[in-house]
Amino acid sequence: MDIRGSKDSTKVKATGYECFRWIYKKFKKKVDNEKDITKIKNNYDKIQDFYKHDLHHYYRFLYHILKFIKSAEIPDTEKFKYSSILRATLSAYELEMIFHNGLHSHGSSHFKPLLEYFSFLKNMDKSLLFNQNQMKSYHDVAFAPSSQRENLLKDWKVKNPNYCNPNDTN
């Protein structure tokens, strides 16, 4: 992944995980201290659309890895271990952008439940959020430390009964 200049496509402005820092900074500039959640989402839509050639591929890749882990015929403890390894490879800015993608129309129905199921956002740097109330759009299990995960996951499963079958098509 790389971010190139709009006027000079040979000029590389960011590569790899640094692209997410670049995109986050552009997103932050658009938000400009906005606290209204709807306006934040609208600005994310614009950012997501502008960088869609990189972001859509990236989010689909992560989604399919998490979906594969969830549907694997291995014990849940192993599933959570593998999703934790995946999460450990991500930067703070990647997790921030993943958080927003889970709330976006492209991610809310399929990606967001996986983020919640695997407590994928538990290490997210919440100080990067533009409005802490955005966290209420996710079930608490999305941010749960291992010690609280089991109880919160039980509640999540009650609220998401169609997403609990490991062989589902989601």
pLDDT in the model for residue 70: 94
Q: What gap in Å lies between CA 7 and CA 124, rounded to an integer?
A: 34
In a domain? residue 91: yes
Separation CA 140–CA 106 (nearest Å):
21
- Is the pLDDT at 9 greater than 90, yes or no? no
What pLDDT, in 10s, does the model give residues 17-54? 899 999 999 999 989 888 889 999 999 999 999 999 88
Residue 106 confidence (pLDDT): 79
The whole-model pTM stands at 0.90
Whether 22 maps to a domain, the answer reads no
59: in domain: yes
12 beta partners? 4
Mean per-residue pLDDT for 130-157? 94
Residue 77 belongs to what domain range? 52-163
Q: What is the pLDDT of residue 164?
A: 59
Instruction: Count up the domains in the chain and report the number.
Output: 1
Model confidence band, residue 2 (pLDDT cutoffs 50, 70, 90): confident
CA gap 151, 144 in Å, rounded: 10
Whether the predicted pLDDT of 168 surpasses 70: no
- In this prediction, residues 80-87 reach a mean pLDDT of 96
pLDDT at position 11: 87
* Domain contains 103: yes
Name the average pLDDT for the chain. 90
90: left (phi over 0), alpha (psi -120 to 50) or beta: beta
